[in-house]
Amino acid sequence: MPEVEAMHVKVTINDLYKEQQETNKLLIQLAAQLQNMADLPDRVRAVEKTQDENSWIPKLIWAALSTGIVGFGTALFTLIRG
């Protein structure tokens, strides 16, 4: 049976300190991102309210387009028959 060699790794206090600094940096970035998300529901609600207030515009455009097409069809039919 082959012998398993154990790898020896030397970890210094300086290495641990660097890792701790990196972890702290990531935590600070995460905290900043979470603070920006705190008002997210209010912002989403404001966007939904604006979209709801402006929902009549496409309906009006479709109604006008439909009326125009029907009117054009009627006029064309009247010219052909008349």
pTM: 0.42
5 part of a folded domain: no
CA separation for the pair 69, 75 (Å, rounded) = 10
62 part of a folded domain: yes
76 part of a folded domain: yes
4 part of a folded domain: no
8 part of a folded domain: no
Q: Two tokens at 82?
A: 């008349």
* Residue numbers of the domain that contains 20: 13-81
DSSP string, 47-74: HHHHHHHTTHHHHHHHHHHHHHHHHHHH
1 part of a folded domain: no
What would the pLDDT profile of 4-34 be if each residue is shown by its tens digit? 677 777 889 999 999 999 999 999 999 888 8
7 part of a folded domain: no
6 part of a folded domain: no
Residue 82 has pLDDT above 80, yes or no: no
Q: How many domains does the chain have?
A: 1
Longest dimension (CA), the chain: 104
CA separation for the pair 22, 33 (Å, rounded) = 17
What would the pLDDT profile of 28-75 be if each residue is shown by its tens digit? 999 888 887 888 888 889 999 998 888 899 999 999 999 999 999 999
